[in-house]
Amino acid sequence: MSQFSSGDVIADRRADYARMLAEGRDFAAAAELMEQALELAPGWAAGWFRLGEYREKAELETAEDAYRRALELEPEDVFGATLKLAVIGAEEAPDQPPSRYVESLFDEYAERFDTALVEKLDYSVPGKLTALVLPHAPFALTVDLGCGTGLFGAEIKEHTARLEGFDLSTNMLAKAEEKALYDHLGQSDLSLSAEESGLFGPDLPKHRADLVSAADVLMYLGSLETVFPLVADLLAPRGLFAFSVEDAGEEEGFVLRDSLRYAHSEAHIRLLLAHHRLELLEIERTTIRMDAGKPVRGILFLSRKAA
């Protein structure tokens, strides 16, 4: 967790012991020790969030108090306390996660992202999404939204004349740049309007892409009311939009899961596609990754903008 130093040596030492207790699944003892650390460093937002996690896992009702204190000390919510409050039933689930939380999450994850996802979690979306679009290749210009370290970029590179990648995390973009796959890389926030998103500019006109991809991106956005207009602005007539979501099953709309990721229903996505004049070409249900030893079910969509 970022900022996981209180600035007090003794408090940090107690927090380390608490973490070891938590790793041994003694969450009640971990919470007690974390409380002692916070007596020494009461203004430590990351510590309060960690206390909330320990209390939550120990099934203590006071988890809510700790998450609220973390949010009070860190109003930009870099730790995702608002999501945690929703998961434990203390608040309604927000339509979108805090952008600072998502940015921080992937900034910290960047160094070990490829190894963790591909080797440990059996992540397979980039290859499966590429297989979905290949019958329509080659492409003149592909825009890879939420490009991360470039896993989808590596798959599609030889099938597109120009490849652009956008991500919220600067550390992810730095990793993607090391791979020398992209003709253009830029920071972008998909929860903002076209003017603010970072996707458009003097050399980045609207309606320039014949393929837009979003591999395992939409589960970090919740409501997709901002994303689909951005995609429509990016796509040339008859351009393709290929993307994945976590499968919400029989749930309506979208739901926040305990993983702090959002799942979307097929019916909800179909409505959004129709509303934005995107024709559904293909749909595929599949396992997209493992999480805590269990398969995460997802849906891959391939759609086409109207002429």
Q: Does residue 115 sit in the same domain as residue 53?
A: no
What pLDDT does residue 1 have? 46
Average pLDDT, the chain: 94
pLDDT digit string, tens, across residues 79-108: 999 999 999 999 999 999 999 999 999 998
- Separation of alpha carbons 50 and 6, rounded Å: 12
Q: Does residue 84 sit in the same domain as residue 120?
A: no
**Is residue 3 domain-resident?**
no
- Give the bridge partners for 304, in sequence order: 240, 279
**Is residue 167 domain-resident?**
yes
Say yes or no to pLDDT of 2 above 90. Answer: no
The tally of domains found in the chain comes to 2
| CATH code of the domain containing 208 | 3.40.50.150
Joined together, the tokens standing for residue 142 give: 């592909």
What letter does residue 80 receive in the DSSP assignment?
-
**Which whole number is the average pLDDT over 104-119?**
82
Max alpha carbon distance in the chain (Å)? 65
- Separation of alpha carbons 41 and 57, rounded Å: 22
Say yes or no to pLDDT of 3 above 50. Answer: yes
77 contacts: CB under 8 Å, gap ≥ 6: 71, 98, 100, 101
pLDDT-based confidence at 240, cuts 50/70/90?
A: very high
* Backbone φ and ψ of 176, nearest 5°: -65, -40
| Best CA proximity match to 214, nearest among 106, 135, 302 | 302
Provide the whole-model pTM.
0.91
**Is residue 192 domain-resident?**
yes
**Which whole number is the average pLDDT over 222-246?**
96
pLDDT digit string, tens, across residues 117-152: 777 778 889 999 999 999 999 999 999 999 999 999
**Is residue 227 domain-resident?**
yes
Residue 2's CB is within 10 A of a number of other CB atoms, namely 11
What pLDDT does residue 296 have? 93
**Is residue 65 domain-resident?**
yes
Q: Does residue 41 sit in the same domain as residue 125?
A: no
**Is residue 255 domain-resident?**
yes
